[in-house]
Structure 1
Amino acid sequence: MNPVVALRLPLHVDLGAFLALLQRLQVPHRVTEEAGEQVLWVPGEPLAEQVRELYARYPRGDAGGQVPGAAASAGFVQSLKGSPITTAMLGLTLLVAALTLLGENFAVIHWLSFVDFRIQGDYVYFSYLGETLANGQWWRLLTPMLIHFGLLHLAMNALWYWVLGRRIEARQGPWMLLGLTLVFGLAANFAQYFYAGPSLFGGLSGVLYGLLGHCWLFQRLAPNAEYRLPPGLLVLMLGWLLLCMTGIFELLRFAAIANAAHVGGLVVGCVTGLLGGALARQRR
């Protein structure tokens, strides 16, 4: 059976205790160093999946003697600590959701929207981007990705950022995830503004499509375990994007979808995935 990569970790991570755990469990494995990373190999993908789950729960190799509830709690806390940028972004998003009352508190939202606005009676008056930048309000270029309208909007975006963000953070590091999040946020916000003009929009979904495109094409060029997406996820998200672009949700008055933000994030994510995958393939 051909060996497959179970884990890729920075050289400073101490794997000694975890490798001792694998030895106690009689799991065949070997560790190599490649491109400044330590790579853990095991025979076969099914075993690799089990090793990844084991590491997520017991990175320090301390599996013995723990009750299931305590082990699950410890594994979740360790996952938070092991993905600092993912955790910080989701924490900031939850904080903004609380401050904005999930899109109901316009007194706070008007400070975070892409351009400022004021409500007068039944009308909303928006500023323009030039005026916003002239006033030094540069934070608005990014903050719309933190605004969410409703619990479902927040829950879905937070879930997929947790799924995709942790993959990138594990494979390319926290600073790469932070950089990609900011780049995709900018791309999504500018795309939506230039397509629809001054308006109120928000959410992490443009960033999520960027992360999706990045993982997808990076994996195509430089296959790795971390960027192997769950079965059907790519088809599901692209199908959802196409469905939203038909305008059916606006027609049914269910919600206004920022389709241009999704497309802008996806296009830039595909570009970064191509570049990153090509570089990774060249290093191999």
Structure 2
Amino acid sequence: MTAIAALRLSLDVDLSGFVGVLQRLQVPHRVSEEAGEQVLWVPSEQQAADVRELYRRFPKGDPRLQALAPARSQGRMRTVLAASKMTALVLLLTLLVACVTLLGDNPATLHWLTFADFRLQGDYLVFIPPADSLAAGQWWRLFTPMLIHFGILHLTMNGLWYWELGRRIEARQGAGWLLALTLLFALLSNAAQYLFGGPSLFGGLSGVLYGLLGYCWIFQRLAPTPAYRLPPGVLVMMLVWLLLCASGLITALGFGSIANAAHVGGLLAGCLVGLLGGALARRHR
């Protein structure tokens, strides 16, 4: 299906209110960044004309349509899912891995996804150097630890944060860019944890989450965009949690070992990529 550019606007324009109008009216659309502009795409010329007329009348949204939100909640959820396919796919894979590994309690399936393969020797895990697995063509191990979770709370918290951050990036810069960032931050945070923590059983989306957080934080400071505008309390809470985990307090309270190197590695990588991406976006403006 051919997409028609209905609107081309500066990146400084806040489209969130108008996009809310389109969502509540169930108008199929997507927003992307093209050559330093926000471009709103629709499937046909007729819809493009309708969207332009709507934008002329309600550039910041129509308060009268707010009352329709509860009645259209199901349609709105479908719209959100349609615009967040990559985010949902990553979460679906994470849920699938949680099922087949029994949240980390099934070594028979778990060992295929860890950064360093292992075998059971009595009550102990004997780890195999990652170089040996890579030489055997098991390159997926560089990324798959992000899908492993140990416990329902671990899975739930990471899943909720990935949904919040991932769909922001997917809406602003597309599914391909979200996938690239997810894989990059998974690779770097996993490598950091192995290098600084040694052979061990680790996993989770936390390293990726800190990467996405750092990316949105720095990108937003250099090239402000509504999609990456996080409440100040969110950033403070995540950084405080990072420090608490690094201090050893969380482990001492009985919450298990924390992959601190993965968290820090992901955050530093996210800040660096956000710095480069934000600088480029600012230059294009």
TM-score, normalising length from structure 2? 0.81
SS at match of 1:136: coil
Cα drift, residue 6 of structure 1: 2.1
SS at match of 1:5: coil
**Residue equivalent to 1:168:** 169
**Residue equivalent to 1:6:** 15
Cα drift, residue 222 of structure 1: 0.3
CA deviations over 1:38-78 (Å, ceiling 9, x no partner) = xxxx3xxxx69x79x97xxxxxxxx97x9x35x11111121
Distance 1:79-1:198 versus aligned 2 partners, 3 A rule: same
Q: How many residues align?
A: 250
1:229 is the counterpart of 2:251: no
**Residue equivalent to 2:106:** 105
1:105-184 aligned at under 5 Å gives the runs: 105-184=106-185
Partner amino acid, structure 2, of 1:165: G
Cα drift, residue 22 of structure 1: 6.3
**Residue equivalent to 2:80:** 79
Cα drift, residue 270 of structure 1: 0.3
SS at match of 1:253: helix
Most deviating of 74-83 and 263-272: 74-83
Cα drift, residue 135 of structure 1: 1.6
SS at match of 1:13: strand
Stretches of 4+ aligned residues off by more than 6 angstroms: none
Partner amino acid, structure 2, of 1:266: L
CA deviations over 1:151-176 (Å, ceiling 9, x no partner) = 11001111011100011111111111
Cα drift, residue 251 of structure 1: 2.3
Matches of 2:128 and 2:139, distance apart in 1: 14
Cα drift, residue 275 of structure 1: 0.3
Cα drift, residue 21 of structure 1: 5.7
SS at match of 2:41: coil
Cα drift, residue 230 of structure 1: 2.4
Cα drift, residue 196 of structure 1: 1.1
Matches of 2:223 and 2:88, distance apart in 1: 26
CA RMSD of aligned residues (A): 2.4
SS at match of 1:132: helix
**Residue equivalent to 1:89:** 90
Cα drift, residue 4 of structure 1: 4.5
What runs of 5+ residues in structure 2 fail to find an aligned partner?
1-11, 17-29, 33-38
SS at match of 2:282: helix
Cα drift, residue 108 of structure 1: 0.7
Partner amino acid, structure 2, of 1:265: G
Cα drift, residue 12 of structure 1: 6.4
Comparing both structures, which one devotes a greater share of its residues to helix?
2
CA deviations over 1:170-218 (Å, ceiling 9, x no partner) = 1111111110000000011000000111111000000000000000000
Partner amino acid, structure 2, of 1:13: W
Matches of 1:114 and 1:19, distance apart in 2: 51
**Residue equivalent to 2:217:** 216
SS at match of 1:252: helix
SS at match of 2:15: strand
TM-score, normalising length from structure 1? 0.81
**Residue equivalent to 2:7:** none
Most deviating of 235-244 and 13-22: 13-22
Q: Percent identity?
A: 58
**Residue equivalent to 2:269:** 268
Cα drift, residue 249 of structure 1: 2.3
Matches of 1:127 and 1:117, distance apart in 2: 6
Matches of 1:165 and 1:280, distance apart in 2: 19
Distance 1:135-1:206 versus aligned 2 partners, 3 A rule: same
Matches of 1:77 and 1:18, distance apart in 2: 20
SS at match of 1:119: strand
